Structure 1
Amino acid sequence: MKVIELFLEKPRVFVLTILFILISGFFALNSVPRQENPELAQRWANVQVVYPGASPERIETQILEPLEAKLREVYEIRRLVSSASDGFSITLIELKDDVDPSLIEDTWSEVQDKIDQARADLPSEIKTELIRSSGPPATLLYAVKWLGDGSPPKILMTRVANDLRLELAYGGGTDKALLFGGSEEEVLIEIDNAKISSMGLSFQEISKRIKSMDNKRPIGVFNDENKEILIKSKDNLRTIHEIEDLPIQIFSGSDIIRLGDIADIRKTPRIPSEEIVYVDGYPAILIQVNAAFKQRIDVYAKKLEEIAKAYDSDLPSELSIIKLYDESFYLTEKFDNLSWSIFLATNTVILLSYFLLGLRSALIVGITIPLTVCIVLFGCRLLGLPLHQTSMTGIIIALGLLIDNAIIMVEDYKYRRRVGHSPKNSALISFKNLWIPLAAATATTALAFLPVATGKGPSVEFVGGMAITVILSVCGSLFLALFVTPVFLNYMEKLSIFKNKELATEGYSNTNLAIVYRKFLLWNFDKPKRGILIALILPIIGFILFSFLKQDFFPELDRNMFRVSVELPPNSSIEVTESETMKLRESIYRNAKFDIRSDVWFIGRKLPRILYNVIGGDSPLGNNNVADAFFISEDYSSMIENLPDLAKLIVEQNPNLRIIIDKFDSGPPVFSAVEYRILGDDPEILKILGQKLELIISDAPDIFLTRADLSQVSTKFELDFNNSNMLLSGLNLQILLDEISIATQGVKVGTMLDGNKEIPIRVRGLKYQDFNDSIQYISVPGDNSLNYSSSFGELNLTSKPTSLGRFEGSKVNTVQGWIWPDKYASETENHIKDAIDLFQKSLPPGYTLNLSGEAESRSESQAQLFSSAAIFFVLIVIALISALNSFREASIILSVAILCTGLAFFGLFVGNANFGFIGLVGAVGLIGLSINDAIVVLSHIKEANENNDLNKESLTDVVMRSTRHIITTSVTTVGGFLPLLLSSIFFKPLAWAMTVGVIGATIIALLYIPSLYIIKEKII
């Protein structure tokens, strides 16, 4: 009360307060970080272990079991999922949702410590690495392309790309700068096994001799009283010629056999390549730049674009730097759309206020909205909350909510003036009578959104910014309604245009309509059950229609991009994968019924983190038979409409390939639409059970591809050595194994400095056309003759599972199913539910079935939202009881929350929107909004019944008085949501749930609340 009196008595203080709000908001707008998507806590990482030559069974026993046991000592780890393949393993680590973001880095440090401790129990020859899978996604993608004649010089292109990568990394504000498709340069020494065997030499002996001649090391230091001088040998491996000139053996005391006499030596890209990148059908080297969070991405992108252009201008004409992807383009587009939506919603709200309430109210609304937005921006600056799609959408959502308090205050002020109070007294009385109900209504709205703002987990974190800006908006609007609006009204009456008291009745009015509406209210209140039943119609219909709603996890991402994943048989080489994917690319362009602007293929690895929810492409290990691509179309709408037909056609034309063509979705990452895990001890039984489950899933409608991990087999050669022959020959088995290893994959023996880059030198045997010959005819010098590897054992061809999986310490067979782009996983799950139940009941003892995929992610996200809802529900109850001073009246208001859930379902059905996480958030927001209106109507009725002299006639008058601002707030709320209804894909379910729900909430406030009050107080 003292604040409003100060503002009324000292206009300069009031003006300075308004100026402070405006200036702080203006400066915050330019300083608050801007990014496309919110920052998610980095709760995922992979532990990659490389163990050359080890089988999946050996890796599981020697690596994964002790490693997982050590990692389980970290309390914050929620889940461990491991996969063992030939020569390496990947362990996915997921932290618990309740780990505070400020403690994430400390937790990962502890995880790294446990990995280091586990090394003592692991084989010495392994290499381990903790790869963080989260963080900022791609901000910029640049490609180095060859425009000259002939085949692209990949080594030169890689060096150019790496230099550019370093410049971009040091540009300021960069989190990571990564290179894809580059060639690992090496000096390859290919030795003829037959020649060296005839000389009595082996691969290992030659490798040791080359190593011994690589003298790049300090020898010592010369010291005396005046100086200190380093002593080192001169580098003798600087050119290919010097390597060819290395002496290997001496014959007849003077004849020297040099390395060039027995080997082919050349500088070359490492073959086979680990990964290959194609941009628009041509080989390229890709640079991915990830900007750090908490900055203006648009400013950052412009700065790096200048660096890239300057670098490109210095390159020869045969090389070109091309920008493929720029997040700031989508950020600017989305920011402009959201800004336009705010402008459109603001004007819609003001025009509706002018029509329904008159000029005075329209001006107040016109003042309230920018002031509230300034308060929100200032709050974002203080909280460190960036402007992104969810936080800005929160402002749009709040546009219809934030004016509720102002309109209620304006209408109450006009009522006080109409009954004869002075302007100052009208302001003070309105404040005195409304601050408790408005504060309670605002508190319930804020508390309804608090579970979204404070919940844990990726889904809640993604939309948390929206809830924060909504809470800031309604709290800011409460301050303005209580302390600024009545002061403005008071000062406005000093203007000549507002001195006419008839303006107290300004706004739309229709006498005939008012008479009909009054009769309708009297008819309802004559028998209150009528009003209750009318108010219950829409909520009940909503609950009935819920079973007909399509369910999804998160809406699709409104990005003009789609992805293509290709998997060939496990033993396919990267060259075969490259050939098949280029044919597939041509088929996609030929059959697409929409325009495609560009495409980028990653061959030999999965898609890197180009978007915030794309994970799994951290390493190319074991992905020779895999290719992932993203395509950028010219038009989003045309792409979404025609993508299902394209997917079906391409899959049908390529039955020998596993192909997935799909749009990008929003929300946390989901690897497959339908997914189950079978846990048990015996891999063979798990394999059989997986095959049965795969048949069940494949029988469901819309499933076009299934996969069971243990059903994926690869072909391998196994050498079965004869121990007796080994003993008779006197040959050490380890020597023979090392010979075979060097002959087939090679060994690093040193380095050569080429300019500013150190290139590894690798020794390898000459490749034979026949793979059997490469292994069976490797010879090792004996005492009197040559010993061939085939003399000591047999070479057998075997087929075994490509990988072995583990989930939470148990063996697992994961079975996945993929659906067409325009279908829903929930429908597939419902179709196979009975069959899955029967399958689960038939499992052998000790074997269990777990649900995974989209269904698991959906249930986890809902649990994340509701995990903190209970405490806030209790706070809402406390706030209502404190404001209303009645348990029964608080119960009446709380029953509105239940009814509004049905209204939200009805809104989703009307808007043909899916029920998912965003729709659920809309239902939560509607509860807060509807309670707001119900409290205001109830407070007006209670004020009129202070002396217990209220009858149905006077109660009808109170409801008539409340109707104007209740309808106005509802209509303006709908007007505020119009931009989201018309343009937003991500927030479409929320907008429909709240827009249609608000209409039903208006009926509840005007009929349900008074009817229950009549019954409670027994009014006649």
Structure 2
Amino acid sequence: MRLPHLAISNRLFVITSIVLLVFIGYKSFKSMPRSEDPFLELPKYSIIAVYPGASPEDMEELIVDPIEELIDELDDIDEIKTEVTNGLAVINVDAEFGIDYDGKYDDIVTEIGKIRNELPSGILELDINQYKPEDRNVVHQYALVSKDVEFRTLYDLAEDLEKDLEKSNVVKKVEIEAYPHEEIRISLDFQKMSQVGISLKQVVNVLKSNNANIPGGSLKSGKLTFNIKSSGSYESLDEIRNIAITSQDNQIVYLKNIANINYDYEDPRWIARFNGEKAIYLSVYQKKGGNILTLSEEIGQKAKDFKKKLPASIQLETPFEQAPAVKSRINDFLNNLLQGVFLVGIIILVFLGWRPASIVVTVIPLSILIAIILLDFTGYALHQISISSLVIALGLLVDNAIVVVENIIRFKKEGFGIGKAAAMGTAEVGYAIVSSTITTVLAFAPLALLESGPGVFLRSLPLTVIFVLVGSLVLALVFTPILAQKLLKDKNTTKSSVIIEKLEDFIEKKYSKTLDFALEKGWLIMLIGVLTMIGSILLFPKIGVSFFPTADKPMLLLSVEQPYSSNIDHTDETLRFIESVLDTTDYVQSYTTNAGHGNPQVYYNRIPEEYKTYHGEVLINFKEWDEERFHNTLNGFRKAFNSNPNGKISFRELQNGAPFEAPVEILLIGEDLKTLKRISYDIENLIAETPGVIDVENPLARAKTDIKVDINRDKAAMYNVSLFDIDQTVRASLNGLSIDKIKISEEDEEYPLVLRIPFKDRPSIRDFGKVSVPNARGENILLSQLASIKFDQDYAKINHYNTDRNTAITSNVTNPEETRKITESIIEKLKDYKWPNGYTYHVGGEYETQSESFGDLGTLLMVALILIFAVLVLQFRSIRQPLIIFSAIPLAISGSFIALFITGWSFSFFAFVGFISLVGIVVNNSIILVDYTNQLLKEGLSKIEAIKTAAKRRFTPIILTTLTTIVGLLPLTASGTSLWSPLGWTLIGGMISSTLLTLLVVPILYKWLTVTYKQRI
């Protein structure tokens, strides 16, 4: 290999390159974005339609079905899930990974635009959203809080703060939320309208025509041109009050004669409080690629200055701030990294002495800087995944340098000059470390291609490790021989350390004899290895399988679900009960209450519910993360909330990974809602009876009672009243009919113009008696003469799964690590259930996501094995020798499973990732051993001599590289985090077992399977 010779002869160029690398790496580290978790770019879209007053069936027929039909015809659509409730439809669309996300969003917008005019004209909102983390994830949430200050005052202050915060270069936007919008309310007196013969239609038409802003053109006069304004914005409410509706008996009837016109707030759709006091929110969103620590510092100062201007009756609070958690998490992982560097350095120092150790340790920061530069270049941030990946790669990146330095020292001991020893020592192991690095890279590379939510979450891990390994390989081949020339010139460097002397003594006295025995009794060693592997596999059921672990954060999102007919005030009553419990819980630092809506999205995989009067959510911040105290508090909450007779209060810990609906989710699919409802009760009971299940939710079990206006069509025809006029009048009277938006010049603001009948609080059934409807002759007919009012039970929610009707039975679990086991026991019961024809089920939730992800990981494992095997075949030009090298993999399984069993961790998603990584790592020692044995055979040694000599000479570097890998992982693994500890123990256990057995099994297999030239002839 000529690379070492070239590096030594171009020493100045190499050193200059290293200096430049340090400078660029430092700049990249300072400027890189920082976040707690990766920004999840997911191919998710949502269409939200708001049509107040419409029943779920009407929403389904008029809005959902036409939209779903169009979306389903688009290419690359993976899944469509729809939830339809009173006046609201949310259509969630999942596309396939790897497509043009923005292009698919444009396709959806275009298709819906084609039918927009065919949808009902009364749709209040029709929003099409693309999932973008910078648009969804709130990085900072403020609350303007006051007991008695008007919302208008709070909103004006919020606007001032919003403008100030948005001046920051790293703030994408600030949204003011949870406040009632102001409107111009025209409260019509239907009795007066009837007396003067004015219909609702007349009022609507006059108001719309008066608000029409039609340009009058322009007029030239001499050298000047004048724009003509014939009409325009209203100057004030008085101008609206004095609009002429009609004239009778030479008298003009003004709007103020038949209605009260005032500013008012819309009916509350989202009630918010902070620590029990009225609040409105300012949600801050970070620009993509921005640094959250910089953002926090900038807006923190602005908020601090803003607080000084507030009156004593208003406070600015912070319900959520992500930056401290990010800073703490990054510092923790950086400390793990530094601890790992220190431990690796100590191990190398003890084994090799300070001069060789200084060479190897120098490679560590340089390799990390290379990885940081490449991460920054490819658009990745510093967060728990990328920094932990550096810790994982720490032990691996020194392997190449250790092998090179150890070999240089060996050549120097044999009498070669330092220059010759550096070149020859590096060249001899060059191909072996290139091959071993490639195999490790090939183990990690497929993980970067995992096309799924977990794959996106994980992607920076394999890329970081690959960048580090490639950097360490280049440095080992180019920079290490140069440093060795400078630092190993002293003759004393050939003197072995005490540890190395003891290790060499162990090799000659213990390992050599054990190796001789293994070569003679190979079948016994192989039998022990096979039995060990079988025994460890038998442990797997006791280890258990889990998906992503909990987030271990001092924060909880608590949900409230009331009966579907519940109004927002009733939901708020339950939330008040929850607040009373929180006020007496010492561990609670603060809480934010939301009625009618979910809390703004403060955790990347918990997407809040949209406007639902029966839904509420509480964000709870605890004083600190104390695992025992946290779980004891949660158990206390469950006991306290069980005494609440109204609604269902549920919660689950925040969890890492991609979002899913619930830990357990069974979708029942079929067309007839009555049949689905009957089945849902059976399945609900079936799930509820399963041990470990809590908070079972069956949407169809919660009935909804509506007031139905039963129109007598014969009477309507007799009185010559159209059904449209009846529907419009009922809607305008009770819910309010927004007919236009008008701009008041004196305030320079735009307000919705809403018609309704006057009532002090909320409309009651008695208010129907005040409503009258015009007929074709302009006469007003009382609604009570045309229709009767009755209560009617209806379906509160209709769900669709890939355009088919369905309902989803969901539940939480007491132990998240038991989710898969619990779901599998439910599946067994579902198989025995007698399903009616045309009805079936689909398993969703964590089980579906986990199965897909584990299946993908299994495929990637096979791909990695095939790629590694192909590289080894090309390197060794043999089928047998790659098989010898692959013997390390089953040996690693034993150690991984035993380590997980002893430490009590389950086989999680990240443990599986660790296992795939292990495949590329454990074969490295075998590659070095087999490659050197082949070299000795070429030099003329017999097979047995070559095996023994190679095993003894490579014993030290193999032990040392394994030890550094394990020691580098220890700080992260010993941290006890449920995300990283399973991965760490998987790697550590596998490294220990494969290394110990490789030093015996590989020589045995080499003896059995390798055919030398002499044997062939």
TM class, shorter-length: over 0.9
Give yes or no for contact 1:643–1:821 (8 Å, CA) kept in 2: no
Query: Which residue of structure 1 lines up, in the alignment, with residue 766 of structure 2?
Result: 773
Query: Which residue of structure 1 lines up, in the alignment, with residue 30 of structure 2?
Result: 30
Q: How far is 1:787 from its partner? A: 3.1
Deviation per CA, 1:458-500, whole angstroms, max 9, x where unpaired?
A: 2111111111111111111111222222232222233x4x545
Write the letter of the residue equivalent to 1:143: Y
Q: Map 1:992-1007 onto structure 2 (within 5 A).
A: 992-1007=985-1000
Counterpart pick for 1:792 among 786, 796, 819: 786
Write the letter of the residue equivalent to 2:812: W
Relative to 1, partners in 2 of residues 1:550 and 1:932: Cα closer, same or farther, differing over 3 Å? same
Deviation per CA, 1:10-42, whole angstroms, max 9, x where unpaired?
A: 543343233233223222222333232222223
Distance 1:728 1:222 in 2: 54
Distance 1:413 1:683 in 2: 77
Distance 1:823 1:635 in 2: 24
Distance 1:912 1:756 in 2: 65
Distance 1:642 1:680 in 2: 42
Q: How far is 1:532 from its partner? A: 2.4
Deviation per CA, 1:620-664, whole angstroms, max 9, x where unpaired?
A: 2xx111011221112212454324413421342224321112211
Counterpart pick for 2:581 among 583, 587, 594: 587
Distance 1:19 1:823 in 2: 48
Deviation per CA, 1:406-455, whole angstroms, max 9, x where unpaired?
A: 11112222222223333222222222321111111111100000111222
Query: Which residue of structure 1 lines up, in the alignment, with residue 169 of structure 2?
Result: 172
Write the letter of the residue equivalent to 1:550: G
Q: Does 1:382 align with 2:366?
A: no
Partner-residue secondary structure (3-state), 1:74? coil
Relative to 1, partners in 2 of residues 1:658 and 1:146: Cα closer, same or farther, differing over 3 Å? closer
Q: How far is 1:176 from its partner? A: 3.6
Q: Map 1:517-556 onto structure 2 (within 5 A).
A: 517-536=511-530, 538-556=532-550
Q: Does 1:631 align with 2:650?
A: no
Partner-residue secondary structure (3-state), 2:502? coil
Query: Which residue of structure 2 lines up, in the alignment, with residue 1015 of structure 1?
Result: 1008
Write the letter of the residue equivalent to 2:673: P
Partner-residue secondary structure (3-state), 1:845? coil
Q: Single out whichever of 122-131 and 379-388 deviates more from structure 2.
A: 122-131
Q: How far is 1:559 from its partner? A: 2.1
Write the letter of the residue equivalent to 1:29: F
Relative to 1, partners in 2 of residues 1:802 and 1:508: Cα closer, same or farther, differing over 3 Å? farther
Q: Map 1:602-641 onto structure 2 (within 5 A).
A: 602-617=594-609, 619-620=610-611, 623-638=612-627, 639-641=629-631
Q: How far is 1:91 from its partner? A: 1.0
Partner-residue secondary structure (3-state), 1:636? coil
Distance 1:257 1:37 in 2: 64
Query: Which residue of structure 2 lines up, in the alignment, with residue 705 of structure 1?
Result: 695
Relative to 1, partners in 2 of residues 1:605 and 1:236: Cα closer, same or farther, differing over 3 Å? closer
Query: Which residue of structure 2 lines up, in the alignment, with residue 729 of structure 1?
Result: 719
Distance 1:304 1:317 in 2: 22
Distance 1:539 1:597 in 2: 50
TM-score (norm 1): 0.93
Counterpart pick for 1:309 among 304, 307, 324: 304
Q: How far is 1:889 from its partner? A: 1.0
Where structure 1 has 5 or more consecutive residues not aligned to the other structure, the ranges are none
Q: How far is 1:119 from its partner? A: 2.9
Q: How far is 1:871 from its partner? A: 4.2
Q: Map 1:676-755 onto structure 2 (within 5 A).
A: 676-749=666-739, 751-753=742-744, 755=747
Relative to 1, partners in 2 of residues 1:957 and 1:786: Cα closer, same or farther, differing over 3 Å? closer
Query: Which residue of structure 2 lines up, in the alignment, with residue 113 of structure 1?
Result: 110
Relative to 1, partners in 2 of residues 1:786 and 1:125: Cα closer, same or farther, differing over 3 Å? closer
Give yes or no for contact 2:589–2:621 (8 Å, CA) kept in 1: yes
Relative to 1, partners in 2 of residues 1:810 and 1:508: Cα closer, same or farther, differing over 3 Å? farther
Q: Does 1:132 align with 2:130?
A: yes
Counterpart pick for 2:466 among 463, 471, 477: 471
Counterpart pick for 2:593 among 589, 595, 601: 601
Q: Single out whichever of 296-305 and 656-665 deviates more from structure 2.
A: 296-305
Aligned-pair RMSD on alpha carbons? 2.7
Distance 1:755 1:293 in 2: 36
Q: How far is 1:347 from its partner? A: 0.4
Give yes or no for contact 2:138–2:601 (8 Å, CA) kept in 1: no
Partner-residue secondary structure (3-state), 1:945? helix
Counterpart pick for 1:813 among 798, 807, 812: 807
Give yes or no for contact 1:702–1:823 (8 Å, CA) kept in 2: no
Q: How far is 1:853 from its partner? A: 0.6
Partner-residue secondary structure (3-state), 1:175? strand
Distance 1:135 1:382 in 2: 20
Partner-residue secondary structure (3-state), 2:91? strand
Write the letter of the residue equivalent to 2:290: Q
Counterpart pick for 1:159 among 156, 159, 183: 156
Q: Single out whichever of 500-509 and 455-464 deviates more from structure 2.
A: 500-509
Query: Which residue of structure 2 lines up, in the alignment, with residue 13 of structure 1?
Result: 13
Distance 1:680 1:520 in 2: 67
Distance 2:582 2:901 in 1: 35
Relative to 1, partners in 2 of residues 1:655 and 1:521: Cα closer, same or farther, differing over 3 Å? farther
Give yes or no for contact 2:566–2:613 (8 Å, CA) kept in 1: yes
Q: How far is 1:832 from its partner? A: 2.7
Counterpart pick for 1:937 among 918, 925, 929: 929
Q: Map 1:285-300 onto structure 2 (within 5 A).
A: 285-300=280-295
Query: Which residue of structure 2 lines up, in the alignment, with residue 327 of structure 1?
Result: 322
Deviation per CA, 1:93-151, whole angstroms, max 9, x where unpaired?
A: 1110232xxx211121112111112335544554532022332253543434345xx62
Distance 1:8 1:128 in 2: 67
Q: Single out whichever of 873-882 and 323-332 deviates more from structure 2.
A: 323-332
Give yes or no for contact 2:53–2:731 (8 Å, CA) kept in 1: no
Relative to 1, partners in 2 of residues 1:87 and 1:130: Cα closer, same or farther, differing over 3 Å? same
Where structure 2 has 5 or more consecutive residues not aligned to the other structure, the ranges are none
Give yes or no for contact 2:391–2:969 (8 Å, CA) kept in 1: yes
Q: Single out whichever of 455-464 and 154-163 deviates more from structure 2.
A: 154-163
Q: How far is 1:908 from its partner? A: 2.1
Deviation per CA, 1:568-607, whole angstroms, max 9, x where unpaired?
A: 11111112212220221221342x4x62222122221123
Q: How far is 1:171 from its partner? A: 2.7
Give yes or no for contact 1:45–1:132 (8 Å, CA) kept in 2: yes
Query: Which residue of structure 1 lines up, in the alignment, with residue 664 of structure 2?
Result: 674
Deviation per CA, 1:320-367, whole angstroms, max 9, x where unpaired?
A: 433333322222112211211111100000111122333233212221
Distance 1:198 1:744 in 2: 21
Query: Which residue of structure 1 lines up, in the alignment, with residue 455 of structure 2?
Result: 460
Relative to 1, partners in 2 of residues 1:596 and 1:901: Cα closer, same or farther, differing over 3 Å? same
Counterpart pick for 1:341 among 330, 336, 340: 336
Q: Map 1:174-193 onto structure 2 (within 5 A).
A: 174-193=171-190
Give yes or no for contact 1:66–1:121 (8 Å, CA) kept in 2: no
Q: Single out whichever of 984-993 and 301-310 deviates more from structure 2.
A: 301-310
Write the letter of the residue equivalent to 1:635: E
Q: How far is 1:948 from its partner? A: 6.1
Partner-residue secondary structure (3-state), 1:182? coil
Give yes or no for contact 1:139–1:328 (8 Å, CA) kept in 2: no
Distance 2:283 2:755 in 1: 33
Relative to 1, partners in 2 of residues 1:777 and 1:520: Cα closer, same or farther, differing over 3 Å? same
Query: Which residue of structure 1 lines up, in the alignment, with residue 58 of structure 2?
Result: 58
Distance 2:469 2:537 in 1: 29
Partner-residue secondary structure (3-state), 1:172? coil
Partner-residue secondary structure (3-state), 1:748? strand
Query: Which residue of structure 1 lines up, in the alignment, with residue 422 of structure 2?
Result: 427
Runs of 4+ in 1 over 6 A off after TM superposition: 781-786
